[in-house]
């Protein structure tokens, strides 16, 4: 079974989409369909720590995101909805953001289907100078996947649905 995990530059949306107003940390996020396990998918109402990082305020009103538990990391899902296999147009673009420094070195990710005993994929992704971690993450089959995230001694988990 081949699992693809490639670093990929997740760029903000085209200029015509950047006219959306910035999220307010006090605005209530809209819960979207497509969450799984304990992880809902949101649009808008971006947490303050995400807005403090470079760039996210440009697209968080229009791009779905999910928060890890505990909420020390977020997955901004450019390829929403995520799809099993190796989809294109859109592909499974995820921009990872982490709230706790240092934002250097790598983000280590172990992914497995929720309820499975062992990880099926284990990868590391390098932080950009901005502290963001862009990626394309393809899972081999549909289902609710748990991503165990660790960096610089911090640990959290997030569950994401792949169709």
Q: How far apart are CA 48 and CA 36, in angstroms?
A: 24
Separation of alpha carbons 142 and 113, rounded Å:
9
CA–CA distances in Å: residue 24 to residues 6, 48, 88:
32, 8, 32
14 located within any domain: no
Within a domain: residue 17? Answer: no
pLDDT-derived band of residue 98, with 50, 70 and 90 as boundaries?
very high
Assess whether pLDDT exceeds 90 at residue 130: no
pLDDT given for residue 51 in this prediction: 84
The answer to whether residue 20 sits within a structural domain is no
- Please choose, from the candidates 120, 118, 109, the residue with its C-alpha nearest in 3D space to the C-alpha of residue 157: 109
Higher-confidence residue of 147 and 104: namely: 147
pLDDT number for residue 9: 42
Q: Is the pTM of this model over 0.75?
A: yes
**Which tens digits make up the pLDDT trace of 16-50?**
333 333 444 557 899 999 899 889 999 998 888 88
CATH assignment at residue 158 = 2.60.40
Residue 19 belongs to some domain of the structure: no
Which residues pair with residue 156 across a beta bridge? 149
* Average pLDDT of the chain to the nearest whole number: 82
Residue 125 lies in domain: 29-162
Domain membership flag for residue 2: no
The answer to whether residue 21 sits within a structural domain is no
């Amino acid at each position: 079974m081949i699992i693809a995990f490639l670093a990929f530059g997740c760029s903000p949306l085209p200029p015509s989409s950047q006219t959306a107003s910035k999220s307010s940390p006090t605005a209530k996020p809209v819960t979207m369909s497509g969450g799984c396990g304990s992880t809902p998918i949101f649009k808008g109402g971006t947490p303050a720590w995400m807005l403090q990082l470079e760039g996210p305020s440009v697209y968080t009103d229009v791009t779905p995101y999910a928060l890890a538990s505990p909420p020390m990391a977020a997955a901004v899902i450019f390829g929403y909805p995520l799809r099993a296999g190796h989809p294109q147009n859109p592909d499974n673009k995820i921009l990872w953001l982490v709230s706790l420094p240092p934002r250097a070195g790598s983000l280590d990710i172990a992914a497995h289907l929720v309820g499975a005993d062992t990880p099926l994929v284990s990868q590391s992704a390098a932080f950009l100078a901005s502290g963001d971690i862009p990626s394309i993450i393809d899972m081999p089959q549909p289902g609710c996947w748990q991503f165990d995230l660790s960096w610089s001694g911090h640990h959290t988990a997030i569950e994401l649905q792949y169709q």
